[in-house]
Structure 1
């Protein structure tokens, strides 16, 4: 059985569900900073060994000690493969450059920083490339990202594997507080960090057009980020909009998706989308911009609707069409839930990941 160390500093939902399925195939140890232990603790398979270490904030020089501890943990495990979820952490990147590492697989969720996203560490845009070049194999979620790695970073295509981002609905159903709400027929959801590239302004411009045809339409905006007030300089109608401009507790996220008919992703840029992955597993329909990786994730008119980015009237028309047509909703919901059992199913993704591990081990021998 292959011995695998799975290291992550973030992307917790993805890592939890991957680990829960991987443990059926490999001898697995999960390594992460102490501060994310709570998020993972109640939803991880009990067969997974978990090792955590203290990790200070990025600007703290004690990260040198922290990285020493991390390397000590990896050396003790002596894994056949070290699988790292992209870190955005320069300390890790320099550690990778200066140490002999086990055969290395890195999953890259985003190659470039999203426009307007200032949360990544200073310098990480450059140092994270070390991870691209030091890894024997890379995993991305869309063909678009594979193309960028091959063309812009000169990485050979044999080293880049496209594996889908699995559904996250079942994880949030396990976390959910008990009182699951009924689906509301005209409620839309905009969920996640509120940043310019998410295109919220286009959805808000579309809302009056939607309301003309569907007066009872309602929009929930849930997530942290920019000051939401800038979108509503004259205040807003509380019957039409519910705004939760805050961190949403994990056990309440599922309810937001369960009560909404559709999640709207009016993004102007996208590499992949955990929000779409969560929607599919919840049976919540998706209306998204045909941009970046979203155009590969959402299958137009099968399990979601795609519209041109920044096109307010096309967005409004797609949402009106969806909310008015119950048969279309049911057909798309059935297709989305079916995909959650097929290409977005974690057991299938874990099997494909093990094949990447086998390839990695062969490359090193």
Structure 2
């Protein structure tokens, strides 16, 4: 089976899926040039990789970029075209005229996150084209499937649930594995894009309660996003807070997770979470809101702790419970390690993806 895999983002997820899928299918990856530069060395040498020049989203030259991309697809003439959902209307518009190959689309977020400033005007409309053109759709959880059914009930029969795999195996490649990174006691990590739906304000409120009982606790806030000046009166306390409000290189990301006692995800809205997948893979215990996809991937008191969203007191209570209980920390690490060898293992995810492809094995193709 010949498969073309296109992605514009979700690099870490795509790398792992590409490498595992290549064991099952004749795979060609097509990606923008700047994504190629970041990914190529981590993609197996047996995988064929093509790339094209991609411009900033408002640049009309993207019309020619998409034309070039679709020419690559046509030359390969795949049995399946698998695209990672994109926030790019230029790609979506190509689907008006290109219907040649059975399309599989992985949807990472059914609804755009509230307060997400990366949302491109018009993209929420154009992505409907990609959704309706897709012969099969992949989401990462049952709650996402229900959301998709509610939004597009006529497409329910096309939706497949496949978990988001662990990301620790990939991120360990970014560091020198001959030097161990010890866990720091009483160290917490808030990582990722810092938008309002991530619930940072609730974590900062909870920290004031945690500090009273564990005076040496420290929270690292790492990632780009909203202006943190509104929290300056809290974050000026350098004893308890470290702020890295910038892009974090992969090697530094790995080190942050490995040295932290726990990662905290106090989200007020969630679909799936690459942060949780990374924490699982690196053995960093998670405290997260019992919401959206987080409530599916994390099994409370087994491989993580779940708290009601926006509940500052329960969040503080769970943080204190985990930091004070080394047995629970060890238990969670053992449980997440087991998950990474079963349902979150990439070879298993690739096998499930192949099952989706095989549903289209007899699908007729149209001429371009």
- Written as runs of structure 1 = structure 2, the 5 A alignment for 1:215-226 is 215-226=215-226
TM-score by length of 1: 0.97
1:104/1:360 contact within 8 Å kept = no
Q: Is the 8 A contact 1:5 1:29 kept in 2?
A: yes
- Tell me if structure 1 keeps the 8 A contact 2:235–2:242: no
SS in 1 for 2:138: strand
Indicate how the Cα distance of structure 1 residues 11 and 155 shifts in structure 2: closer, same or farther if over 3 A, else same: farther
- CA shift, 1:363, in A, is 4.2
Cα distance in 1 for residues equivalent to 2:332 and 2:265? 16
SS of residue in 1 equivalent to 2:360: helix
Note closer, same or farther for the CA distance 1:28–1:235 as it changes in structure 2 (3 Å cut).
closer
Question: Which residue number in structure 1 is paired with residue 132 of structure 2?
Answer: 133
Which segment drifts farther, 234-243 or 260-269?
Answer: 234-243
Instruction: Return 5+ residue gaps in structure 2 as ranges.
Output: none
SS of structure 1 residue aligned to 2:96: helix
The equivalent of 2:265 in structure 1 is 265
Q: Deviations over 1:65-108 (max 9, x none)?
A: 11110110000111110000001111111101222231110000
More deviation in 201-210 or 171-180?
A: 171-180
Once the two structures are superposed, residues 240-276 of structure 1 have per-residue CA deviations (whole angstroms, 9 ceiling, x without a partner) of 1111111001121100000001110000000000000
- Give distance in 1, aligned partners of 2:325 and 2:104: 45
Structure 2 matches for 1:54-133, cutoff 5 A?
A: 54-133=53-132
Inter-partner Cα distance in structure 2 for 1:124 and 1:64: 15
RMSD: 1.2
SS at match of 2:362: helix
Show the 5 A alignment for 1:1-365: 2-177=1-176, 179-233=179-233, 236-364=236-364
1:103 and 1:361 in contact (8 A); partners too: no
Change (3 A) 1:357 1:218: same
8 Å Cα contact 1:186-1:217 kept in structure 2? yes
Structure 1 position 120, deviation (Å)? 2.2
Bigger shift: residues 226-235 or 190-199: 226-235
Bigger CA drift: 9-18 or 179-188?
179-188
Contact 2:136–2:160, Cα closer than 8 Å, also in 1: yes
TM-score if structure 2 supplies the norm length? 0.97
Aligned length: 364
- What is the rounded CA distance, in whole Å, between the counterparts of 1:364 and 1:210 in structure 2? 60
- Which aligned runs of 4 or more in structure 1 are off by greater than 6 angstroms? none
